[in-house]
Structure 1
Amino acid sequence: MAKLKELIRPEDITTCDSTRQMIHKARKDGVELFFDRAENMRPCPIGNDSACCKHCSMGPCRMNTKDPYARVGVCGATIDTIVARNFGRMVAAGTAAHTDHGMAMLDLFRGVIDGTVKDFAIKDTVKLVEVASSLDIETEGRSVQDIATDLYKELELTYTQVDGEIPLVKRVPEKTLESWRQEGIVPRGAMREIMEMMHRSAMGVDQDYENITKQISRTALADGWGGSMVSTDISDILFGTPSPVEVEVDMGVLKEDQVNIIVHGHEPILLEAMLVSAASPSILKMATDAGAKGINLVGMCCSGLDVLSRHGLPHAGNFSSTEAVLVSGAVDAMTVDIQCIKQDLVKVSECYDTAFITTNYRAKIEGATHIELDEHDPLECTDNVIIKAIGRFKNRSKSIVIPSHTAKGIHGFSHEYIKYMLGGSFRSGYEPLNDNIVNGRIRGAAGVVGCTNPRSKQDFSHVELVKELIKNDVLVVQTGCSQMALAKAGLTTPGAAALAGSGLAEVCETVGIPPVLGLGSCVDNSRILMILSEMVKTGGLGDSIADLPVAGCAPEWMSEKAIAIGQYFVASGVFTVFGHTFPITEGTKFEKHLFEELEGKGFGKWGFAADPIEMAHLMIAHIDKKRRDLGIDQARERVLVDMADRRAL
C-alpha cells in the first residue's frame, strides 16, 4: 500500500459500517483501497473548475480561476468557450455510455425477435404493447412477433436517425416539446448528436457558449428520452417490469458456507444469465461436492440494482464499496461487464485470491481473466464463471471476515407500478399523487440519484439530504448508487414514514409505501422522466415539466454519465442540484447561463451546494416557488368523503 502522510480515519471516510470495517481490515492486511488513493491524489484546482483546455497541441491552456477573464487561450478561446466545451464533452461521453448500453439491449432484443438468441425471450408482453402503442405502432389483433419487429425498427431510429425527431419524444408533454422545438434542441438521433457535440467542441469550431449549450442540451436529451429510455423499456420487455419486492442489502448478505459471486456493472444480461447458470442441477452439484451449501449470487452497483428490482436478489453495496467487499475474503469470484469498474479491483482481488473476471468485449482490464459473454450462448460464459468460483471456494486460504450488518427494504417501483398502486386495477393513474400535491399533504417530489465519490464521506450526503426532504413532506424517488445508500440506512421500508412530515407520512401509511421509492439503476432515470410526464398529462400541476413542484439532486456525483443525466433533467424542465463540486468556473457568463438563464427559456436550471441540508433547502425553496406559481401554496381544507362522494367518483 502506498504510504500516506497520515491515514484518514475510516469513520471520516464513510457512514457505511460494513465498508468502515473492511477499510480497517484492508489496512491491517496492507491492501490499498481507492479511499487511500484519493487522499494521495489531490485534484488539480484548475481542472476542478474546468478551466483547462487541452483540445489541441498549442496548449494545454490553463486559465486564471480567480479572475477568469484575465486572459484567453493561445487560440483566443475565452473561459466561457473553454468551460462550455469541456462541459459538452462530459455530456457527450455520458450520453455515449448510456446510449451504447441501450444499443446492446436493442441488439439483444433483435436477436430474440429473429430467433438467433435462444436463452432469452419476451417476458412482458403487456409492456411490449404499451411501448409500441406509445409510438403509434398498431397492436390490435397483431402477433407479439409482428409488434416486436415493428418496435425494434422504430427504436433503432433513436440511434441511427440523422434528421427529424427521435421516436420517444412522443411521450414528452406538448408544452415541454414546444419549448425544445423553439430552442432547436429536439434530438435527431443519438449517434448524430454525440458526433456533432464532439465536433463543435473541437478547437476552432463553435465558440459561442450559448450556442454550445443548445447542442449540450440536445445531446443530453438523446440520452434521457433516447438511449436510457430504450434500455429501460427493452429490459422490462425481456426480463419483466419491476414491481415491489423486499430485498436484503449490505455486505452481511455474503455467506461463509456458500460460493459467493459478486456481479458488478450495468448491463442486466450478465446477471440474468448468471441466475440461469446458478440454478443448473449440474452446477449446483459441483458446488455441493466442493462442500458448499449453495451458490450465493450477489449484485453490486447498477446491474445489481436492475436484478434486485426484478428478482429480489441481495445487493452488497454501491460504487464506493466494490473494493472493500473483496477484503472480506468471502468473495469467490467478482465478475463485471461495463461502467464504474475500478481498474484496481484486479489487484485487490489478487490480494484475496478472488477470481476477477471481465465478460464484455468493450471493457477488458489488464491482468483480469476474460471470459467473453456472447448473447447467443451466454451460459457458456456464466457456467465457466461459476465453475471458477467453486474452485476458489474449495481452495479458500484467506481468513474470512464478513460484516454482520444487513438491512431490508422495498424496491422495484417502476412508473407503471406507481400508477397501479395509486389507483388499483380499475382506476390506476397519477390523480391521487397530483391531488395530494395540490392539497398539500405532499409538498412536492424529488429525484435523488447518482454515484458515491471518495471526495465525499460515503453515503452521508444522500442520507442526510433525503431525511431533510421527507421531513418536509417531499416524496423521494431514487436510482443508482444513491438507492443503496438509503437502503443501508433503512429508509426504503414503510416504517421510514415515521421520519416523514405528517402529510407525507399519512399518504405513505395509507398506500403502504416507503417515503423513498427505489426505481432501479442509473439508466432507469428514464422512469423518473415518465413519472414527470404522467404528472403533467394527469393535470392540475401545470402544462409542462417545468411547471411541476419537483427538483432533482446528485449529491455525490462522480462520472460523466451524471453530468449527462443532470443536463437532460435541466433541459426537460427540472431544477437540478449537484453536490461536492461542479465542473465550472465561478463568475463566468456560462455559469450564469446554466444556473439562471435557462429557466427563462422554459427549461430547468442547475444548482450547487456542498452541504446536504443546504441542497435540501434549495430544492424545497424551488418546490415552494412552483407551488406559488400554480396557486397551490395554501393547503386546502380537508373534506371527509362519504359513500355518495365515492360513487360520484
Structure 2
Amino acid sequence: MAPKKKSIAEKTIWEDAAKMLVKAERDGVETAWDRLETQTPHCKFCELGTTCRNCVMGPCRVSDKEGSKLKRGVCGADADVIVARNFGRFIAGGSAGHSDHGRDLIEVLEAIVTGETSDYRISDEGKLRRLAAELGIAVEGRELLAVGRELMELLYADFGSRQREVAFLCRVPEKRKELWRRLGMTPRGVDREIAEMMHRTHMGCDNDAASTLIHAARTALSDGWAGSMIGTELSDVIFGTPTPKKARVNLGVLRQDQVNILVHGHNPVVSEMIVEAANDRKLLAEAAAAGAEGINVAGLCCTGNEILARRGIPMAGNHLMTELAIVTGAVEAVVVDYQCIMPSLVQAAACYHTKFITTANKARFTGAIHFDIKPATALAQAKEIVRIAIGQFSRRDPRRVEIPGSSLEMMTGFSNEALLAALGGSLTPLLEAVKAGKVRGFVAIVGCNNPKLRQDSCNVGLARALIEKDIMVLVTGCVTTACGKAGLLLPEAIAMAGPGLKEVCGALGVPPVLHMGSCVDNSRIIHLCALIAGELGVDISDLPVAASSPEWYSEKAAAIGLYAVASGIYTHLGLPPNILGSKTVTDLALHGLEGLVGASFVVEADPLKAADLLDARISGKRRVLGLNG
C-alpha cells in the first residue's frame, strides 16, 4: 500500500520552502518530495543491503531470515559478505568524490606555480609556507613558487601507490597512528585504497565481512586525512583562509531588481571566478543596460559554503532548496560544478527562463549548456557565463516571480586559524573552559537533507538541544543553511545556550554554533580534534567530542562518518545505511568498532533522543579524563 501523501508542513520547517512548494505545485514543477512518493515503498532487499549486482550470474538477493531459501547468492556469498561488499563500494564512492575535489585543487596549484594561469593566485602565502614546513619541505629563504611546486608534487603523491602513509598523518596523535598500523588501517594513498576496495569487492576476493569493513575504514581515512584535507588546505592557500564575517541566508537573498546567478556544487574553483566576473565593470554596465540594478551571486550547498566562508556571499539554500530556488522564477542562471546536483534541476530550469550551466567534464547533464572550465581560461569563461545570465534578465516573466520573505543575518568564517585567533593564538582558554565544565564538549553536525525526513527539523532540533546542554556545535555543509535560518549562527544565539556556553561565547563574541565551512571542510574538524588531543596528551578517542549527520543521504556522508569513527569520534546518524540485512555488519558498526578504534556509530531519528545519547557519551569521556563538571 502506498503511504499517505505528506502535507507541506510535514515536508519542511521553513516558510520560504513551504511557499515555494505551493508555487511548484501551481507551476507544475516536480520536486524531490514528489518523486519520493512515486518511489515508495522501497525495495526491502535494497534497503537492507542484501542485493548484489557485482556480476551477471545475478543479480542476486539474499536473506538471513529463519527458513529463507535465499541464504546465498549464485556464487555462494551470504548476507554478511554482500552487505559488507555493498557498503565498501558505497564508501569508495564517497571517498572518491571528496578526494577528487582535493585533486582538482592540486591541479589549480600546479597551474599557478607553472605559470599556466594568471586567473588564480596564492592568496594566503603564509599558509602555503606553514603547510610546506609542516610536511617537511624546506621553506627558509626559498621563492614562494618553488615551495609551492614542491608542495604540489608531495600532495600529488598522496593519490598514488608508493607511500607508506599519506602526508597529513603527521597531524595524527601517535597513539592513533599506532592503532591504525596494528589494525592495517593506515591510509597509504587515496587512489590505492579506492582501487583496492573495488578489487576486494569483486567476486572471488574478500569474502570476510570484518576484513572488508577494515579496508572500508582505511579507504575513508584516505579521504579524511588526505583527499578532503588537501581540498580544504589548498582552497585556503589559493582563495584565502576564512575569517569571521556577517552574511545573509534563505531565498530572500534573491533580488527582484538584479541579475540572479546561483552557484551550486562543491568546488570553489568555478564559483570564485563567477564572483570575480560578476564584479567586472564592463559586465555590470551590460547588466545596467539590460535594466538590472546589479549582478547578485548567491550560493547553494557546499559551493555556496565555500564562497560564504571566504567572501560572505549569501546562501540561498541547502540540498532540498535547490529546486525551490529555481521555482522563485527570479533566477537567470544556475552554474554548477559537481556533487549533490539533482538531475531534475535541468527540467526545473526549463520551466522558467533560467539557464542551467555545467562546468566540469566529470559532471555533464543532458540538456545543459556546458563550459569546460580550465585554469588558464577560467575568468574569461566565467565572464561568458555571466553574460548569458545578463541576457536572460530581460526574458524573466515578472508575473511568475515570487521571492518569499526577506533574508536573515548569520556569522560565518570559523577556520581553525580564525578560531585560534579569537582565542588569542592558543587553545588554552578553550581547554580551560572545557576543564571547568563551562563548555562540556563539542559535537560536529554535518551533511545533508533527505526528503524522507522533515527538512532541517533534525539538523536544527539537535543543534538547539546540544547548546542547551553547554555543548558547543560545529557545522558544515547543508546544516549551515539550516542553523543560519534558525538564528543559531549569530552571537545573540547565546540566549538559547546553557549558562556555561553562554558565558564563554559571550566573552569571545562568537555564536554557540560555529560555521566551519563546506562538507569537505570536516577535515578542519578532525584536525582540530587532533590539535586538542595533542595539547592534552591523549588520543582523539579520549576527548569529549562527537559527530552527527541527522539528515544524511550520500556516499560522501557515509565516508565522512566512517573516517570520523575510525579517527576515534563517536558518530550519530539519523538514518541507518543499507546494512541492516547483516547482523554481523550491523553489530560491528554499532558495537564492535568501539573495541577496535574506540568509537562506533549510533542511529537515532529523534533529535532530542540523539542529543541525550551524545550528551551521555561526552559525560562519560569527561569522567574518564577527570572532568566532572
- With normalisation by structure 2, the TM-score equals 0.97
Task: Indicate the residue corresponding to 1:600 in structure 2.
Answer: 595
**More off after superposition, 184-193 vs 137-146:** 137-146
Shift of 1:124: 0.2
Q: Does residue 1:56 correspond to 2:39, yes or no?
A: no
User: Secondary structure of the equivalent of 2:517?
Assistant: coil
CA distance in 2, matches of 1:564, 1:80: 20
Q: Equivalent of 2:627, from 618, 624, 632?
A: 632
CA distance in 1, matches of 2:349, 2:538: 53
Change (3 A) 1:66 1:473: farther
CA distance in 1, matches of 2:386, 2:106: 27
Shift of 1:371: 2.1
Task: Indicate the residue corresponding to 2:359 in structure 1.
Answer: 359
CA distance in 2, matches of 1:62, 1:432: 55
Task: Indicate the residue corresponding to 2:87 in structure 1.
Answer: 87
User: Secondary structure of the equivalent of 2:317?
Assistant: coil
User: Secondary structure of the equivalent of 1:260?
Assistant: strand
Task: Indicate the residue corresponding to 1:44 in structure 2.
Answer: 43
CA distance in 2, matches of 1:281, 1:182: 59
Deviation sequence 1:312-364 (CA, Å, 0-9, x none): 00110001000001111100111111001111101110101211111111111
Q: What does 1:194-593 align with in structure 2 at a 5 Å threshold?
A: 194-397=194-397, 399-422=400-423, 424=424, 428-539=425-536, 543-585=538-580, 588-593=583-588
CA distance in 2, matches of 1:162, 1:47: 37
Shift of 1:121: 0.6
**More off after superposition, 105-114 vs 142-151:** 142-151
CA distance in 2, matches of 1:140, 1:375: 29
User: Secondary structure of the equivalent of 1:442?
Assistant: coil
**More off after superposition, 286-295 vs 274-283:** 274-283
| Counterpart code for 1:595 | L
Shift of 1:5: 8.9
Change (3 A) 1:147 1:10: same
CA contact (8 A) 2:50 2:581 kept: no
Task: Indicate the residue corresponding to 1:158 in structure 2.
Answer: 158
Task: Indicate the residue corresponding to 1:639 in structure 2.
Answer: none
CA distance in 1, matches of 2:334, 2:66: 48
CA distance in 2, matches of 1:394, 1:49: 51
User: Secondary structure of the equivalent of 1:316?
Assistant: strand
| Counterpart code for 1:402 | I
Q: Equivalent of 1:31, from 18, 29, 32?
A: 29
CA distance in 2, matches of 1:625, 1:56: 46
CA distance in 2, matches of 1:201, 1:64: 19
**More off after superposition, 405-414 vs 561-570:** 405-414
CA contact (8 A) 1:65 1:585 kept: no
CA contact (8 A) 1:335 1:357 kept: yes
CA contact (8 A) 1:494 1:514 kept: yes
Task: Indicate the residue corresponding to 2:131 in structure 1.
Answer: 131
User: Secondary structure of the equivalent of 1:410?
Assistant: strand
| Counterpart code for 1:215 | H
Deviation sequence 1:602-639 (CA, Å, 0-9, x none): 33211101111111111111111111111212x2xxxx
- With normalisation by structure 1, the TM-score equals 0.94
Deviation sequence 1:119-174 (CA, Å, 0-9, x none): 11101011111111211112122221121111111111111233411111011111
User: Secondary structure of the equivalent of 2:315?
Assistant: coil
| Counterpart code for 2:130 | E
Change (3 A) 1:265 1:587: closer
User: Secondary structure of the equivalent of 1:261?
Assistant: strand
CA distance in 1, matches of 2:378, 2:468: 46
Deviation sequence 1:181-203 (CA, Å, 0-9, x none): 11111111111100000110111
User: Secondary structure of the equivalent of 2:293?
Assistant: coil
| Counterpart code for 1:38 | L
Deviation sequence 1:24-45 (CA, Å, 0-9, x none): 0010111111111111112222
| Counterpart code for 1:200 | R
CA distance in 2, matches of 1:206, 1:69: 24
Q: What does 1:162-177 align with in structure 2 at a 5 Å threshold?
A: 162-177=162-177
Shift of 1:271: 1.1
**More off after superposition, 429-438 vs 242-251:** 429-438
| Counterpart code for 2:616 | A
Q: Does residue 1:72 correspond to 2:72, yes or no?
A: yes
Deviation sequence 1:380-402 (CA, Å, 0-9, x none): 32112111111110122252100
Task: Indicate the residue corresponding to 1:181 in structure 2.
Answer: 181
CA contact (8 A) 1:409 1:493 kept: yes
CA contact (8 A) 1:358 1:365 kept: yes
| Counterpart code for 2:482 | A
| Counterpart code for 2:450 | N
Moved over 6 A (4+): none
| Counterpart code for 2:448 | C
| Counterpart code for 2:498 | G
RMSD: 1.5
Task: Indicate the residue corresponding to 1:619 in structure 2.
Answer: 614
Deviation sequence 1:5-36 (CA, Å, 0-9, x none): 96532111011211111000010111111111
| Counterpart code for 2:37 | E
**More off after superposition, 133-142 vs 361-370:** 133-142
Shift of 1:236: 0.2
Gaps of 5+ in 2: none
CA contact (8 A) 2:241 2:310 kept: yes
| Counterpart code for 1:410 | M
Shift of 1:582: 2.5
Shift of 1:63: 2.2
User: Secondary structure of the equivalent of 1:594?
Assistant: helix
User: Secondary structure of the equivalent of 1:576?
Assistant: strand
CA distance in 1, matches of 2:4, 2:80: 39
User: Secondary structure of the equivalent of 2:247?
Assistant: strand
Deviation sequence 1:499-519 (CA, Å, 0-9, x none): 111111111111111010001
Change (3 A) 1:587 1:152: closer
User: Secondary structure of the equivalent of 1:262?
Assistant: strand
| Counterpart code for 2:273 | A
| Counterpart code for 1:515 | P
CA distance in 2, matches of 1:592, 1:395: 57
Gaps of 5+ in 1: 636-649
Task: Indicate the residue corresponding to 1:143 in structure 2.
Answer: 143
CA contact (8 A) 2:79 2:582 kept: no
User: Secondary structure of the equivalent of 1:160?
Assistant: coil
Identity, in percent, stands at: 42
Deviation sequence 1:255-301 (CA, Å, 0-9, x none): 11100001111110111101221111111111000010000011111
Shift of 1:69: 8.4
CA distance in 2, matches of 1:178, 1:253: 49
